[in-house]
Amino acid sequence: MATLWFWLCSVMVAMYVVMDGYDFGAGALHLAVAKTNEERRTVLGALGPFWDGNEVWLLAGGGSLFLAFPRVLGAGFSGFYLAMFLVVWGLALRGISLEFRSHVQGTLWRAFWDAAFCLASAVLPVLFGAALGNLLRGVPLTAEGSFSLPLFTDFSASNPLGLLDWYTVLVGVFALLALMLHGSLFLAWRTEGAVHARSAAIAPKLAAAVGLLWPLVAFATHRVNPALFPTLPGRPLAVTATLIVAAGVVLLVLGLRQRRHHLAFLGSGAFLLGLLAAAAASVFPVMLRSSLDPAWSLTAFNSASSEASLRTGLGWWFVGMPLAIAYLVLLFRLHRGKVQPAGEGEGY
């Protein structure tokens, strides 16, 4: 049961990255691919109906983690205390930039919210990536199951550890680039005109950057956690995830070549999903790795809620998830076709 919930939580987090990922990426690119007010409203119009629902994956995923592995949630969130609040404040800034911008027509008002939206959208993926980096590298969990990390120390990725070091920042930058690629493909798929042209032009460059950085991140991960990769071939799920990554890359490259951006977008979605699944499969059952003593790590088995509680949770999870997917399908159907810029006062 704990194993199942490990995967349910992983699916939620991966869905969050893939779904909110494209609106983060598009937000980070927003100033570059949309220059005029009309173009910016096209970008926001493409994201507007979806961003809030995409963010719900984070909350629903957090809720699932809260239920299934409260010890992991408590230790992780309190250990990353300051970074967590940077995330919370960034999410707040980002949400209101999107929602408040269209209500006033002044150019300064809109320029301010555009910049705020772009900044928050760029900083958050770096923080999320750095968080993933911390999970892979390990945190100084004690025998009591808690830790506390400063924002940074000497950036050395060895004791004394900080949240941000060369490794976690590298993962953060990789996350930002991968999500910008994801977002550029979303915009290229969903829009037409100048926004489409600029997004389609920047996507191959971002793909090249991601391709260059990827081996570097893999090598660095091996440096900070040498135990990770050797176990990969022995884990069927990790092998499957690697195949998904490979399929995603093929789809991405084909889609870009043939300028079929919806295919490329699906490809980058599979790429992200596969990478996260591979990471989850290779660390399983460890959820929070202790850098002090492997025996102190928090795992799916030593941190799970009771069997009865988890079994009950399964009941509503499998009712709620199809509903959530159904809303998503309905939403995409209602908004199918290229985004048209809305009239003033009638949209984002």
Partner 1 sequence: MDDPLLWHRLQFAFTAMFHYIFPQLTMGLALVIVLLKARSLRPGGEAHADAARFWIRVFGITFAVGVVTGIPLEFQFGTNWSAFTRHTGGIIGHTLGMEGMFAFFLESSFLALLVWGEKKLGPKRHAWAAAALWLGSWLSGYFIVATNAFLQHPVGYTTAADGTLQLASFRAFVLNPWALAQYAHTMVAAVVTAAFVVAAAGAFWSLKGLHPEQARLNLRWGVRAGLLASILAAFPTGDVQGKLVARHQPVTLAAMEGRFESGPRAEINLIGQPNVRERRLDNPVKVPAVLSFIAYGTFSAEVKGLNEFPADQWPTNIELLYYAFHIMAGLGTLMIALMALGALQEWRGRLEGSTALRWALMLAFPFPYIANTAGWLTAELGRQPWLVYGLFRTAQGASANVHSGSALFTLIGFCGLYFVLGLLYLYLVGREVAHGPVPSHPAGPAAAH
Contact flag: residue 253 with partner 1 (CB under 8 A): no
Instruction: Name which of 51 and 189 has its Cβ closer to partner 1.
Output: 51
Tokens standing for 184? 């550029």
Closest CA to 114 of 127, 124, 100: 100
Structural contact between residues 227 and 148, judged by C-beta atoms closer than 8 angstroms:
no
Q: Tokens for 267?
A: 């490809």
70 versus 294: smaller Cβ distance to partner 1 = 70
Helix (H, G, I), strand (E, B) or coil at 298: strand
> DSSP assignment of 208-271, as one string?
HHHHHHHHHHHHHHHHH-TTHHHHGGG-HHHHHHHHHHHHHHHHHHHHHHTT-HHHHHHHHHHH
Closer CB to partner 1, residue 226 or residue 295? Answer: 295
- According to CB under 8 A, which residues from 314 to 333 bind partner 1? 315-317, 320-321, 323-324, 327-328, 330-331
Closer residue to partner 1, CB minimum distance, 6 or 271 = 6
Q: Looking only at residues 74 through 103 of this chain, which bind partner 1 when binding is defined by CB under 8 A?
A: 74-82, 84-85, 87-89, 91-92, 95-96, 99-100, 103
| Contact pattern from residue 52 through residue 71 relative to partner 1, giving x for each residue in contact according to CB under 8 A and a dash for the rest | xx-xx--xxxxxx-xxxxxx
SS3 (DSSP) at 139: strand
* Burial zone of 233 (CB within 10 Å; 0-12 exposed, 13-18 middle, 19+ buried): exposed
Helix (H, G, I), strand (E, B) or coil at 149: coil
For partner 1 (CB under 8 A), the number of binding residues is 67
Among 49, 204, 211, 285, which residue sits at the site for partner 1 (rule: CB under 8 A)? 49
* Residues lying near partner 1 in the complex (CB under 8 A): 48-50, 52-53, 55-56, 59-64, 66-71, 73-82, 84-85, 87-89, 91-92, 95-96, 99-100, 103-104, 146-148, 305-306, 308-309, 312-313, 315-317, 320-321, 323-324, 327-328, 330-331, 334, 342, 346-348
